[in-house]
Each structure stands twice: as structure tokens, then as C-alpha cells.
Structure 1
Amino acid sequence: MPGDLCTRFTRCAGLCAFAVAVWWGAAVTMAGTAKASDAPQGPPPSPVVTAQARLGKAALQNVFIGTIRFPEVSEVAASVAGRVERIAFEEGDSLSAGHVMVVLDTDLLTKALESASAQHAQTLTDLESARLEFARMDTLYRSKSVSEKEFDEARLRMQGLQQKAHASKAEAERLRLEIAKSTVRAPFEGVVLQRSASRGEWVAPGTVVATVAHNAYVEAMVEVPQSVMGFVRPGQDVVAAVGGTDYPATVTAVIPQGDVSTRTFPVRVRLKNGKHLAQGMEARVRLPAGAEADAVLVPRDAVTVSQGQTVVWIVQQGEAHAVHVTVDAWLGSEVAVSGTGLSEGAAVVVKGNERLRPGQRVTEGR
């Protein structure tokens, strides 16, 4: 009997030990699985939009510094004398063509016009009387009832009044014109650079009342060396940077008169003005400095600045890589670039490149 109890106890202890071992193994496995599921998987791929680099033609460009100026600046002057009654502008105002700028007092001119008009009306009345008199004298002269002298006097009186009527009419028209010119208007659409008149001031004909600049477009004049002059021609589309913003521009003139001391020649380019450009601003104009050659072209949006360096991000095997490049030419919506690792057909990032890191996983879109 004691032997049976001992055997049972031994069997029970073995089963308990086996159960504990199974439970411990399961707990360790579950803990390992939980740790594996909690392990970081890394950030998800970043979505980007790419385009293909292509092979094209481009000429190396150099930057030349010039100054913005208005192509047409007018000193607006009074045409007639008078006292300034009203000023309808301030410096910096944008004006449309024909905008009223200055109104002169016209009281004296109005009275003079009334007098001239009355004189003209009286002259016309006298002329009509002279015509009737001449008609009667002509009839009498034909019937030999009056002398030739009387006939000539009637004819000359009528002709004199005709000339007087023309003169009085011209005088009245001149006064009307002076009254109209007493209102000084803007000669063209533009901006007021300077106001030179005040209310109550007497101005004479030719007195400047304002300086107005035509600002629908502006010009920049740059000096280029003779080695570059041969590659620049009127009508070329170029780019001018003003205040960090690129503006499309067109070469309007290459002036064949250089500076003997510097051997440079003036080139004039025209920029369409969005009303943000002002005379005196610095313009950095990119002009062709060589003949066209094969070049790798990428969209302008593909070029970014990272840590102070110009780069183009390319996608290789699902990863982003930065290629340090040099911009050789700006060609509208594209740029010609050169850099080790960038070639025709490369997938360049045009959207989403501002947040990329080297080796970052990306997903491409077109």
C-alpha cells in the first residue's frame, strides 16, 4: 500500500512538471510574438511625382547685372496759363490714359469766350446785311444806276466782314480749346513718379505739373563683353531675376556701340511688369554665352536647394537620391543641368522633393 502511494505521487509530480513546462513554453512564444509585432517597421514610402530627364539643345548662359528702368517717362506740363484749382493725383498713383490730373481755373477764359462768341454773332449779322446791300448794288450797277465806285465799296465791305467772321469764329474756337486744355490729363497709362504742382499755384504754358512713367513693361540695360555679343540677338527669350523672382524677358536691342575702356556693349531686354517692378531695381539677366550643344533638360520644378547646394532628386529602385548639379541654362519651363549621376531618362522628382532625404523610400506618380 505505501508503495502504491509513492508510485502515484511520483506520477502526479511528473505530470505537474510537464504541464508547467508546456505553459512556460507557450508564454515565452507569445511574448516573442508580441515583441516582434511591436518592433518598428520604419516610415511609409513618401509619395512623389516624377518626370523623365531628356536630351535637348541648350547654350551655356551667363548672368549679367543691369538696372530696371521705365522705357517712357513723361514730364506732363500745362498747355495754357492759369491758377491750379484742383489736383486729382498723388505720387505713386496708377493712372489710366486720359485720367484727369490737374484742373486750372477757367473763369477768365469763360468770360473771354462769351465775349468772342457775341462778337462773332454780331459779325455774322453785319455780314448778312452787307450781302443784302451788295445784292442790291449789283442790280443797280447792272442797270447803270450806281457808279462803279459805289459797287466796289459794297463788295469790299461784304468781303471784309466775311474775313472778320472767320477771325471771330477762330478766336472763339481757340478759347474753347484753351478751356479744354485747362484740364491736364495723363498722356498714357502709367504711374506718377513726382508731383510738381499745388493748389492755388499759378502755372504758365510749359510748367511741369507731374512726372509720369509708362509701366506696362520695364526694361533692363546690361553690358556684355564682345565674346558674348555674337550669341545675343533681338527677339531672343531670356530670363531676368529681380528680387529673387524670375521674370520672362525678351531681348529688344543689341546696341553696336561699345565702351572702349571695358570693351562691353549694351543689351536691352524688356520685361512685362506685374506692377511690382520699379525703376532702379537690380536685374540679373541670363544671356546665352556660347553656341547650342547637347544638354540634359529637366523641368524647372526638379531643381531645388538642399543645405545650400543645388540638387536634383532622382528615384532609383524605389529610393530617392540627391544629385548635385550645375544649372547651365534656363529654357522656359525647363533647365539644362549637368551633374554626375544624372543622364537622359532618369526619373527626376518634380513634386514632393522639398521633404526628401537620401535613401528615403518613395512611391512614384506621373
Structure 2
Amino acid sequence: MNTRQSNRFAGAIGVAAAAVIVIALTGILHARFAMGDKPAERIPLTVAATGYHLQDSYLRQVSYLGLVAAGRKARLGFEISGTVAELPWREGSPVAKGQLIARLDDASLRASYSATSADLDQARSELELAKLKARRQRELRESGAVSREAFDETRLRAQALASRVEAVTARLHSIEIQIEKATLRAPYAGVIADRFVHQGAVVNPGMPVVQFIETAGREANIGVAVAKARSLQVGREYTLKLRGESFSSPLLTVRPDVDPVTRVTTAVFAIPPDIDAVDGEPITLIMEESVEARGGWLPIAALLESSRGLWNVLRLEESPQGTRTVREAVEVLEIQGDMAYVRGSLADNSLVVANGVHRTTPGTLVAVAGAR
């Protein structure tokens, strides 16, 4: 027997052996079924369920961005010209109300004050002398010892000196005011935000010396849509968020105009004194609004992405064989945290697979662990 015949013979023997094994196994299985044995039933997948309840609207959180603004801020300067003699503060320095901010060299003013004060003393002395003369000549005039002309001259000179005293007094008061204006003091408690001149600089009236920002009375200027602004109530507390921290703040006013660029109006809120807010810092108004849309809330874990922007959920349905899953299409309208507000073909009070939807397919029999 050659090699090719040997290979054919061996192959025939292998096929025959396989056929015998298959026949034997089939016989064993038939024998077991005849004795009442059945294949083991598949255990249904256990799933958690959640209820879907229809409602006509839902609340969502909206935010409006604004800026922190100091209650008062101004560029402070002198009302008179002069040389800056003292400017002790740097940017960021806190200054109490009435405290010195800057001072001009007032040496010439004080010299003028001394000279004018001396003129006033002289005028008062001359006035006193003129009054004494007028009093004496009035007595002599009654006895006829002094002519009427001499008496009138003395009397009118006393009146002229009285006017001179008033004029010199006013001039002296004016110099006092100028000396006072040579000192720049804080109009309220605040912080030096910027300095525009330094010691030794010559300034003119109205020229800015420092940028001064009030530390108290901070406000939040927040742009709000006109339609939403109509619902705001002055005096009511609203929630503001600054650097991730939320706090309540009363509404002071709503401006009656609209910004031509942003097309929003400005709502002004008072920031509590214990809140550390910096002028120009962003701040947010947090509000809730009702959205008219019929739907219901479901966990995000219950959603399975579908096509064309839709999502699928697995609704639980009772059947003669048990609880099975049915695919339903929904549209997501809002997401808040781990919940989604959806609408679609789901009926009210439906039970839906709450999570693990990727582990099962529509039509699968499942066991429900519990509904929530």
C-alpha cells in the first residue's frame, strides 16, 4: 500500500470515529430528556428601576454676570495750585475718613495770612479811634462847639473804617480757606488705588493727584435681561456668587435704561460688609426660572445615545413571561447635575431602567431590584 492510500484510509477511520461519538452523545442527551432532565434556565439580569412622571414645566437655574463696583470712587485733587510737599501713601494704602492724603507747600499762604492779620489789627485800631472821635464830636456838636461838617467827616470816616475791617476780615478768611485747601484729606474711608503725581510736583487746580476708592458700600452692577428685570423687587434678597461662594444680597435699584451694546439693563445689589469684594471683580446673580415644557426627570445613567440628537431609554413592561425591556426614544431638554429633563414617547408613571442600560437590549427579560 502506497502513502496516498494510507492517508485516505486514516482519514476514513477518523470520520467514522467522529460520527460514532456524535451518535453516542445524541443518544445520551435523548436518554436524559426522556428521564425528565431539562437545560438550565437563564437567570434574568437584575436592574434598578426609576419612575418617569410627567409635569408641565421645570425650574432651571440661570445666571447673570456683572461687576463689583465701589459705592464711591473719585480722582482727588487740589482746588488751588501749588507744589506737592507731602504725599505719604502708596497704592493700596487704606486711609481713614478725614486723614491726610497730600499737602501743598503753603508757606506763601501763611505769610500772606500773617500780613493780612496785621492789616486787620491796624484797621480795627483805626476804627476804634474813629469811633471815639465821632462820639466826642457828637457831644460837642450838641453844645455847638463843633461844626456839623467836622462831625459828619468823623462819623463817615468811622463807617469807612468799619467797611475796611470787614473787607480785611473777609480776605483773611479767604486765605484761611486756601490754607485749608492746601491739605487734601480723605472724604470717606477708602483705599489709594493709584497715584498720579509725586512729592515736589507742581499741580494746577483740579489736576488728579490720587485715585481714591471707598472701602465700604460695595455694590454689584449686574446686567439682566429686560424681561427678567421686570420681575425683580427692590429690597428683596437675591443670591449672588463671588469666587465660588454664594451669599444673599438685597436689590437696591434697577436702572431705567438699556445698554446700547449688550441690550440689558443694570440691577444694582448691595454687597454685605463682611464680603471681601474687590472693585471691578466679576460677580454672578443666580436665579431660578420656570420653563414651560411637558416632560419629566430621569437619571442621566438611564439614557443611551441614539441618532439625530435623540436618546433611548428602556421602559419596563410586564409580559406573560415576566418583566421585559422596551426601547423608547426621548429628547433631552435640560441637564441638572446627574438628572436630565426629557420628553418623548414615554407615558406618565412609566418605570424605566435606572442605570446600566448598556448591559441589556430591548426585549430582554429582567428582574427589578426596586423602584425609586
Would the TM-score normalized by the shorter structure come out above 0.5? yes
SS of match in other structure, 2:160? helix
**What is the match of residue 181 of structure 1?**
181
Identity %: 24
**What is the match of residue 89 of structure 2?**
89
The answer as to whether partners of 1:234 and 1:253 remain within 8 angstroms in 2 is yes
SS of match in other structure, 2:289? strand
Change (3 A) 1:127 1:286: same
* C-alpha distance in structure 2 between counterparts of 1:217 and 1:104, whole Å: 30
* C-alpha distance in structure 2 between counterparts of 1:208 and 1:131, whole Å: 50
* C-alpha distance in structure 2 between counterparts of 1:131 and 1:185, whole Å: 44
SS of match in other structure, 1:174? helix
Query: Which structure has the greater CA radius of gyration?
Result: 2
SS of match in other structure, 1:187? coil
Please, which runs of 5 or more residues in structure 1 have no aligned partner?
A: 1-58, 292-322, 327-366
The answer as to whether partners of 1:231 and 1:290 remain within 8 angstroms in 2 is no
Q: CA deviation at 1:228?
A: 1.8
Q: CA deviation at 1:128?
A: 0.9
* C-alpha distance in structure 1 between counterparts of 2:60 and 2:209, whole Å: 48
Answer with 158-167 or 192-201: which moved more. Answer: 192-201
- CA shift digits 1:45-75 (9 cap, x unpaired): xxxxxxxxxxxxxx86421111222221111
**What is the match of residue 110 of structure 1?**
110
Q: How many residues align?
A: 238
Equivalent positions of 1:1-366 (< 5 A) are: 61-259=61-259, 264-274=264-274, 276-290=276-290
Answer with 165-174 or 270-279: which moved more. Answer: 270-279
SS of match in other structure, 1:120? helix
- CA shift digits 1:265-314 (9 cap, x unpaired): 321112125473222211111135359xxxxxxxxxxxxxxxxxxxxxxx
- CA shift digits 1:123-173 (9 cap, x unpaired): 111111101110121112212222222111111100000111111122222
Letter in 2 for 1:200: G
Change (3 A) 1:231 1:206: same
SS of match in other structure, 1:256? coil
* C-alpha distance in structure 2 between counterparts of 1:174 and 1:157, whole Å: 26
Letter in 2 for 1:175: I
Change (3 A) 1:267 1:290: farther
SS of match in other structure, 1:83? strand
Change (3 A) 1:270 1:199: same
SS of match in other structure, 2:271? strand
Structure 1-normalised TM-score?
0.60
The answer as to whether partners of 1:84 and 1:198 remain within 8 angstroms in 2 is yes
* C-alpha distance in structure 2 between counterparts of 1:100 and 1:112, whole Å: 23
Please, which runs of 5 or more residues in structure 2 have no aligned partner?
A: 1-58, 292-335, 340-372
The answer as to whether partners of 1:240 and 1:285 remain within 8 angstroms in 2 is yes
SS of match in other structure, 1:138? helix
Change (3 A) 1:272 1:217: farther
Letter in 2 for 1:242: L
Q: CA deviation at 1:190?
A: 1.0
* C-alpha distance in structure 2 between counterparts of 1:149 and 1:129, whole Å: 19
Change (3 A) 1:256 1:325: farther
Letter in 1 for 2:80: V
Letter in 1 for 2:89: F
Change (3 A) 1:138 1:237: same
The answer as to whether partners of 1:82 and 1:105 remain within 8 angstroms in 2 is yes
Q: CA deviation at 1:236?
A: 1.5
The answer as to whether partners of 2:102 and 2:183 remain within 8 angstroms in 1 is yes
- CA shift digits 1:238-279 (9 cap, x unpaired): 121122222332211122333578653321112125473222
The answer as to whether partners of 2:71 and 2:216 remain within 8 angstroms in 1 is no
The answer as to whether partners of 1:231 and 1:289 remain within 8 angstroms in 2 is no
Structure 2-normalised TM-score?
0.59
The answer as to whether partners of 1:228 and 1:289 remain within 8 angstroms in 2 is no
